[in-house]
């Protein structure tokens, strides 16, 4: 497949930002999840026989 573009979805400046700020961005994400009472892990459904 060739879409005739020379680059990916994100420019190099943005990718560098993600790399440089990875720890801070990740912690911000986790803090927002916690504040919303959410978690990265999905809820596990347990089935019981009747």
Of the two residues 6 and 20, the one the predictor is more confident about is 20
CA distance 12 to 20: 12
CA gap 21, 15 in Å, rounded? 10
pLDDT digits (tens, 9 = 90+) for 8-34: 888 899 999 999 999 999 999 999 999
**Would the pTM of this model clear 0.75, i.e. be above it?**
no
The pLDDT-based confidence of 1 (bands split at 50, 70, 90) is: low
């Amino acid at each position: 497949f060739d879409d005739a573009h020379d680059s990916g979805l994100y420019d190099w400046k943005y990718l560098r930002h993600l790399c440089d700020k990875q720890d801070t961005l990740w912690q911000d994400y986790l803090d927002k999840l916690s504040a919303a009472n959410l978690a990265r892990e999905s809820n596990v459904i347990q089935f019981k026989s009747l």
